[in-house]
Structure 1
Amino acid sequence: MAGLRPKSGPTMNDVAAAAGVSQATVSLVLNSASGSRFSEDTRRRVRDAVDRLGYRTNAHAKVLREGVAGMIGFVGDFVASSPFAGRIIEAAQDRAWESGLLLLTVNTGGDRALEAASLETMLSYKVAGVVYASMYHQILDVPEVLGDVPSVVLNSEDRGGRFSSVAPDEEKGGYTATRRLIDAGHTRIALINNDSLESGLPAAVGRFAGYSKAMLEHGLEVAPDFVRFGHGAEPDGFEHATSLLTAAYRPTAIFCGTDRMAWGAYQAAATLGFSIPADLSIVGFDNQETLAPHLRPALTTLELPFEAMGRRAVDLVLQGAEPGGRVELMECPLIERNSVTHPKEMP
């Protein structure tokens, strides 16, 4: 009927009446105001009334009162839809909740218009800060508007050098992977990298640098014939591993820049009649939960520290995320499984 308004729900006055206290008491109890002293019985009566009536605090009123909402914004490209990078969101959400904040998450799918609209909405809600995330480690053009609130770039780096970033330590990861194969006794170690060095992709540049450092440190040659460049996918691993394993002078171990390329290398080895790890040791990178543990044998790999990075990004937002472009690199742990052993004697 014309003139009817939708029911607005219980008010703070309703809670006060049900609990037999003043509205001021309800407000102080719900906001845990410092210096306010009420008996446990009074607090219990207020909480019971809130639960019974289904009362919710007014977020807009909180913004007007405190100047900031109880939320942190999280904007990502394909992070929420990724089968493994989504762990970043869970960790960030848990860390925000520990500080009494909610995580307001938007997965943009790489749509710049949606990203801009999402950021404007978050800023209009006076979020406490924003985590700006990417599915993979890259150099990003970060929106200028993020300078209006404490903001941190997650799993990537700011091209402009204005915002702090939290990202994987790719070079140390490449070093650890290669060192694992060297420690097993391998000297013929190939690399199938996840992109070209010309791409400037931090993951590709860093993992190659780590591989090279470990090889040279132990007096081993970084042979051009043993270094291949793919694009991170399974067919790249299959193609390059096939080429490496059919050469007259073949490697006894391969460090693959992604688990998916390692999967391709497994298939190449099987096709050519090589046994893993007896004839060929393989180390991957990513620790994709849907892949690495389920290969036969299970894949030894480096884990991207999604949980640690998600928590750290929220920590930095809560600390005010001072500008300056500092990049905080987080260690990628080695996950030992069954794809590495000592090499056979070879001619």
Structure 2
Amino acid sequence: MSTNDARNRAVTMKDVAAHAGVSRTAVSLVLNGRHDVTLASETRARVLQAAADLGYRPNAGARALAQQRSDWYGLVTEIVTAPFAVEVIKGAQDRASSDGKYLLIASTESDPVAESAAIERLLEQRVEGLIYAATWHRAVNVPEIAREVPTVLVNCFDAEGRYPAVVPDERAGGRRAAERLLAAGHRRIGFVNLDPGIPAAVGRREGFHAALREAGVEPDDLLEISGHATAHGGFDAAAELLELREPPTAIFCANDRMAMGAYDAIKERGLRIPRDIAVIGFDNQELISAYLRPALTTIALPFEQMGSVGVDLLAETTAGESTDTKIVTVDCPLLERSSV
């Protein structure tokens, strides 16, 4: 068979054996990396050259069946095109690649039926484990089918506590924001929070309050308003704070979209950032934080690192090194720009 004929269809080990003039067993030993069996170096070289000449590619499915492992992890997420999801994917993919693993990615668009179907398809590909990632930090109900392989949650946690999870350290992030404003000399600090009750709102508020109390500043309910995570809500909340008899000298917004709204409310009143009032955000949504004027100092959500740590946890679990359903928190760093 000519090289061109071989390339027109899937090349088999039998084809490589015929081209190299060796047995199929020898080809199998060479192409499967078996060095525990003695073969002449010349034979190995001929097999490798024949495989290159014919464009041989191993059958990953057959190899996975034979070895009961595929070198693939599955990643299931709601919206793969969301900026934060892309960072999770990059962190997971880079970490997996360093271990010789690869990712198969499935988008589910927040549809429980689609989630189960996506996981089923990934299991059909014999993935060794699953990363289940959410676009915002919350409790989730993972489809039962995910229990068939090791599974790690990223940016979310299992409502029933069955899976290990990696989440941002919301409390430390809220603390860091308050500490930065306190270090700049502010003592009357407004806080525009997310919707009450969600993990990010609870954690960021706890950390914010802890830092204030350690500095001898008692939290003031009059200075705390929910902006409901939107720019419009941030504008309204900041406007309300600025109308107080004793307005704050700084505002901590629990996400960057609300900070963007707060900027407009501040500027509408002829005030200057940071000379008249400081603003700090949370998330590091770069399309907002880096391009506001002045650029927004913010606390970054560590999506890329969470993806990487998720793969580390999954590797431990698939190797049988850990069966803990622990929750690992990842630090949220301060990104200094120009608004404080």
Given the two structures, how large is their TM-score scaled by the length of structure 2? 0.92
Structure 2 residue 289 is matched with structure 1 residue 288: no
Which residue in 1 is equivalent to 2:102? 102
Question: Residues 270-281 of structure 1: matches in 2 within 5 Å?
Answer: 270-281=267-278
Q: 1:281 to 1:43 in 2, by over 3 A?
A: farther
Q: Is the 8 A contact 1:19 1:49 kept in 2?
A: yes
Q: 1:255 to 1:319 in 2, by over 3 A?
A: same
Which residue in 2 is equivalent to 1:4? none
Which residue in 1 is equivalent to 2:30? 29
Which residue in 1 is equivalent to 2:123? 123
Cα distance in 1, alignment partners of residues 181 and 40 from structure 2 = 64
Cα distance in 2, alignment partners of residues 36 and 332 from structure 1 = 51
Cα distance in 2, alignment partners of residues 184 and 300 from structure 1 = 13
Q: 1:48 to 1:238 in 2, by over 3 A?
A: farther
Which residue in 2 is equivalent to 1:12? 13
Q: Is the 8 A contact 2:84 2:135 kept in 1?
A: no
Equivalent position amino acid for 2:153 in 1: V
Question: Residues 258-337 of structure 1: matches in 2 within 5 Å?
Answer: 258-320=255-317, 322-337=322-337
Question: 1:244 Cα deviation (Å)?
Answer: 0.8
Equivalent position amino acid for 1:292 in 2: S
Which residue in 1 is equivalent to 2:164? 164
Equivalent position amino acid for 2:30 in 1: V
Percentage identity across aligned positions? 44
Question: 1:45 Cα deviation (Å)?
Answer: 4.6
- Larger mean CA deviation between 268-277 and 315-324 belongs to 315-324
Q: Is the 8 A contact 1:237 1:261 kept in 2?
A: yes
Equivalent position amino acid for 1:129 in 2: G
Question: 1:84 Cα deviation (Å)?
Answer: 2.9
Which residue in 2 is equivalent to 1:76? 77
Q: Is the 8 A contact 1:309 1:330 kept in 2?
A: yes
Cα distance in 2, alignment partners of residues 42 and 219 from structure 1 = 77
Which residue in 2 is equivalent to 1:251? 248
Question: 1:323 Cα deviation (Å)?
Answer: 4.1
Q: SS of the counterpart of 2:29?
A: helix
Equivalent position amino acid for 1:217 in 2: E
Q: SS of the counterpart of 1:297?
A: coil
Equivalent position amino acid for 2:306 in 1: M
Cα distance in 2, alignment partners of residues 215 and 127 from structure 1 = 47
- Larger mean CA deviation between 47-56 and 285-294 belongs to 47-56
String of CA shifts for 1:101-147, please: whole Å, max 9, x gaps.
Answer: 22011110011111111111222322100011100110111222222
Q: Is the 8 A contact 1:259 1:291 kept in 2?
A: yes
Question: 1:63 Cα deviation (Å)?
Answer: 2.2
Size of the aligned set, in residue pairs, is 330
Q: Is the 8 A contact 2:107 2:118 kept in 1?
A: no
Cα distance in 2, alignment partners of residues 97 and 20 from structure 1 = 35
Q: Is the 8 A contact 1:177 1:334 kept in 2?
A: yes
Which residue in 1 is equivalent to 2:219? 222
Q: Is the 8 A contact 1:161 1:324 kept in 2?
A: no
Structure 2 residue 204 is matched with structure 1 residue 207: yes
Unaligned runs of 5+ in 1: 1-6, 341-347
Q: SS of the counterpart of 1:131?
A: strand
Cα distance in 2, alignment partners of residues 69 and 157 from structure 1 = 27
Which residue in 1 is equivalent to 2:4? none
Question: 1:239 Cα deviation (Å)?
Answer: 0.8
Structure 2 residue 147 is matched with structure 1 residue 147: yes
Cα distance in 1, alignment partners of residues 329 and 41 from structure 2 = 46
- Larger mean CA deviation between 224-233 and 179-188 belongs to 224-233
String of CA shifts for 1:131-182, please: whole Å, max 9, x gaps.
Answer: 1110011011122222221110111111101100001000000000110000
Which residue in 2 is equivalent to 1:111? 111
Cα distance in 2, alignment partners of residues 26 and 289 from structure 1 = 52
Unaligned runs of 5+ in 2: 1-7
String of CA shifts for 1:63-117, please: whole Å, max 9, x gaps.
Answer: 2211122210111112x12123311001111222222222011110011111111
Over aligned residues, Cα RMSD in angstroms? 1.8
Cα distance in 1, alignment partners of residues 117 and 154 from structure 2 = 20
Q: 1:29 to 1:221 in 2, by over 3 A?
A: same
- Larger mean CA deviation between 140-149 and 39-48 belongs to 39-48
- Larger mean CA deviation between 207-216 and 31-40 belongs to 31-40
Q: Is the 8 A contact 2:115 2:143 kept in 1?
A: no
